[in-house]
Amino acid sequence: MQAERNGVSALRCFLPVGPDRRPRPTLVNSLTHTPGLKTVLETAGGVDPRRPVPKFARRRFTATWRDRPPAASSGDRGRVVLWPDTFTNNFDPHIADAAVAVLEAAGFTVEVPTQTLCCGLTWISTGQLATASRVLTRTLAVLAPALRAGTPIVVLEPSCAAVFRSDLSELLHGNEDAHRLAQQTVTLGELPQQRAPDWSPPHRVDAAALIQPHCHQHAVLTYDADEQALKKAGVDTEVLDAGFCGLAGNFGFERGHYEVSLACAEDTLLPAIRAADPATLVLADGFSCRTQIRDLHPAATPLHGAQVLAAALRGDDPTDRRTGRKSLRPVVPSRTALLTAPAAVALSLLIRRRRYHH
């Protein structure tokens, strides 16, 4: 997940906004998925044309959270903070919705920071440690009241959780809030194991699942608690020992790397998916892993564990209701898109230039 964050974070920051200052992700999706414009952007950005560019969601999770009515749950197990990571917030907000449903059903009161925050991995992974320190210091300032109250911080994206659990306290050694965040960061599976061991979803999914752990789950987090949460929901789990999925963020998108990325996926991950029964769920908590699976095996519907647990609340098939994820129809370039294409190309070149000069 390393260099990928340069491009993703930059696009997030430069999302066009309307007169109401709200982001206009459809414009970016138009630019990156319209024939002709797409080719120009891929050439300028060094993206392999065989790689679809991920689409921004129509609305961020944090935006819908601001408009959400108060929860009906009593929250008798206490407060938790759900971390709105860049990938979930901007690309897969339905996963955060599913996580909220699970947390509230388990008896927690959920809070979400609505400021634009980041875990800093973009800058850590590219050696820009001074910038990473500033970004993380701001993040800690926002989270400080929750951290000092001992509130768990639930993180859905493994790469962000790994930064909080490991890199953060090394980078800001001596910062007590950094050490608190390292101790209080939990995954969705770890939280009920620690704070609600008697809770389980009211229904059973009763399905088999192939699970591709993220690299950071292998290296820093472990997947044990999350697997146990799925088993309590009736999932027959098979955790693949495939290791690296092959995307490696920016690496798998860049021209000249596609074949290596594909070969890594073909080592274990893709053969296991092809050999599985069509009814078998495919789970991957990491955005990169889900992207790799969708790109290379379009028949699969890779899910986050939060979606499976949310389905167990309802007694549904997890693949039938993907909580608001809608594919955008093919778009015809609008006048605005055509006028802004040169600016988008310039931005792509700037991102590429910055990546190689820092």
Residue carrying the six token digits 């639930």 = 154
Indicate the pLDDT class of residue 23, thresholds 50, 70 and 90. Answer: low
Can you give the pLDDT at residue 69?
85
Maximum separation of any 2 CA atoms in the chain, in Å: 57
Q: Return contacts of 216-225, CB within 8 angstroms, 24+ apart.
A: 216/1, 216/158, 216/159, 216/161, 216/162, 216/286, 217/158, 217/285, 217/286, 218/243, 219/162, 220/161, 220/162, 220/165, 220/166, 221/158, 221/161, 221/162, 221/165, 221/187, 225/187, 225/189, 225/190, 225/193
Per-residue pLDDT, averaged over 57-80, amounts to: 87
Q: How many CB atoms lie within 10 A of CB 25?
A: 21
> Among the listed ranges 17-26, 31-40, 64-73, which one has the minimum average pLDDT value?
17-26
- What pLDDT does 249 receive? 72
Confidence of residue 78 (pLDDT cuts 50, 70, 90): very high
Q: What is the mean pLDDT of the chain?
A: 83
DSSP assignment string, 76-123: TT-EEEE---HHHHHT-HHHHHHHHHHHHHTTPEEE---S-----HHH
Q: Given a cut of 70, is residue 325 above it in pLDDT?
A: no
Question: How many Cα atoms occupy the beta-carbon half-sphere of 98 within 13 Å?
Answer: 29
- Which pLDDT value is given to residue 15? 46
pLDDT per position as a tens digit, 35-57: 777 777 777 778 888 888 888 89
pLDDT band at 64, cuts 50/70/90?
Answer: very high
Tens of pLDDT, residues 213-222: 998 888 888 8
pLDDT of residue 192: 95
CA distance 216 to 234: 25
**β-bridge partners, 238:** 210
Q: What is the mean pLDDT of residues 106-127?
A: 90
Residue scoring higher pLDDT (29 or 9):
29
pLDDT of residue 355: 45
Of 12, 173, 156, whose CA–CA distance to 90 is shortest? 12
Question: What is the percentage of the chain residues whose pLDDT exceeds 70?
Answer: 82
pLDDT of 209 strictly over 80? yes
Tell me what the mean pLDDT of segment 84-102 comes to.
96
- Over range 71-86, report the average pLDDT: 87
pLDDT of residue 97: 97
State the pTM of this model: 0.83
Residue 254 pLDDT > 70, yes or no? yes
User: How confident is residue 73, by pLDDT bands cut at 50, 70 and 90?
Assistant: low
Residue type, 8: V
- Alpha-carbon gap, residue 185 to 191, rounded angstroms: 9
End-to-end CA distance of the chain: 18
Specify the 3-state DSSP secondary structure of 62.
Answer: helix
Do the beta carbons of residue 110 and residue 100 sit within 8 Å?
A: yes
What pLDDT, on the 0 to 100 scale, is given for residue 24? 65
Statement: residue 3 has pLDDT above 50: no
pLDDT exceeding 90 applies to what percent of the chain? 59
The average pLDDT across 320-337 equals 42
Q: What is the pLDDT of residue 216?
A: 84
Q: Please report which confidence band the pLDDT of residue 319 belongs to, taking 50, 70 and 90 as the band edges.
A: confident
State how far the Cα of 66 lies from the Cα of 303, in Å rounded to an integer. Answer: 25
